[in-house]
Chains A and B, each alone.
Chain A
């Protein structure tokens, strides 16, 4: 396995979608290649960062209410359509 192959399929490796033999190939490459170790770690952190950027913290206030004008527009549109 080379870096190109590792990079192309690392998401399959990361999320456990590979047969044992192929997984072993990835593990072997990682043991020899610090660049791919760094790439894998940064790829994993990228996913964590995108989710953290939108996640609501446990102690955060509830989501902001929609503007009243939007709520009224929805209620009026429903009244017209029913």
Chain B
């Protein structure tokens, strides 16, 4: 599953990646400013999805731009600037997250399915409304789903955000989190199951 909402839509002000890159590599101050103005909004949105504190998100964006500009000479321009910056800000945000993550996590076990002796779920799943996804056009519903994602234990939330929302591959996610493909796959599945449990009361048929 490689769906992505990654920032591939370049702002109108920066129509030509190659020219902007060449100017930045030549040390043109105006080009650096144009790059910051064009992409900082997108990068801030990415950092906010990973970090819950606004100050941390802004710091991560600043870290990302400084890191990108420091390495501008090594960027070959084969990918879009937005894609390159996306990867860098994810890295910067994860670094911030690691320094923040000190409190113990809650267990995810209670949010996963439990089975009776006959191997059926103790709380049998009920069908969800056919209109479940359509109601996301309402801001209130979007906020509710985002709120449920934020309630996930951090270890699981971050995998879900990187894979399902930022559109990174399993390999990229494992590399960024310094873990194995198997761990990423398992955590992603558990995170989706737990999120499903949070969403179930809102979307099961017969509920208001």
A residues whose Cβ falls under 8 Å from a Cβ of B: 2-5, 7, 11, 15, 35-36, 38-39, 41-43, 45-57, 62-67, 70-71, 73-75, 77-78, 81-82
- Contact pattern, B 118-145, Cβ under 8 Å of A = 1, otherwise 0: 1111001111100011001100011001
A41 touches B127 (CB 8 A): yes
Would you call B15 an interface residue if the criterion is a C-beta within 8 Å of the partner chain's C-beta atoms? Answer: no
A53 touches B40 (CB 8 A): no
B195 touches A50 (CB 8 A): yes
Which of A2, A15, A70, A78 touches B119 (beta carbons < 8 Å)? A2
Would you call B25 an interface residue if the criterion is a C-beta within 8 Å of the partner chain's C-beta atoms? Answer: no
Which chain B residues lie closer than 8 Å to A45 at the CB level?
128, 132-133, 203
- Contact pattern, B 58-90, Cβ under 8 Å of A = 1, otherwise 0: 100110011001100000000000000000000
Which chain B residues lie closer than 8 Å to A78 at the CB level?
32, 65-66, 69
Which of B45, B49, B164 touches A63 (beta carbons < 8 Å)? B45
User: Binding site of A, secondary structure by majority: helix, strand, loop or mixed?
Assistant: helix
Distance in angstroms from A18 CB to nearest chain B CB is 13
When C-beta atoms are compared, the residue in chain B nearest to A1 turns out to be B119
The 6 closest A-B pairs by CB, nearest first: A2-B119, A66-B40, A53-B145, A52-B136, A39-B125, A38-B125
Which chain B residues lie closer than 8 Å to A42 at the CB level?
125, 127-128, 196, 199-200, 203-204
Which chain A residues lie closer than 8 Å to B162 at the CB level?
none
**Bound-state Cα–Cα, A64 to B45, Å:** 9
Given contacts A42-B128, A66-B61, contact A52 B1 (CB under 8 A): no
**Bound-state Cα–Cα, A4 to B122, Å:** 11
- Contact pattern, B 24-58, Cβ under 8 Å of A = 1, otherwise 0: 00000000110011001111110001000000001
**Bound-state Cα–Cα, A53 to B161, Å:** 12
When C-beta atoms are compared, the residue in chain A nearest to B12 turns out to be A62
**Bound-state Cα–Cα, A71 to B117, Å:** 59
Which chain A residues lie closer than 8 Å to B115 at the CB level?
3-4
Would you call B11 an interface residue if the criterion is a C-beta within 8 Å of the partner chain's C-beta atoms? Answer: yes
9 of the cross-chain contacts (CB-CB < 8 Å) are A2-B120, A38-B128, A48-B132, A49-B145, A53-B136, A65-B41, A70-B58, A75-B32, A78-B69
**Bound-state Cα–Cα, A78 to B65, Å:** 8
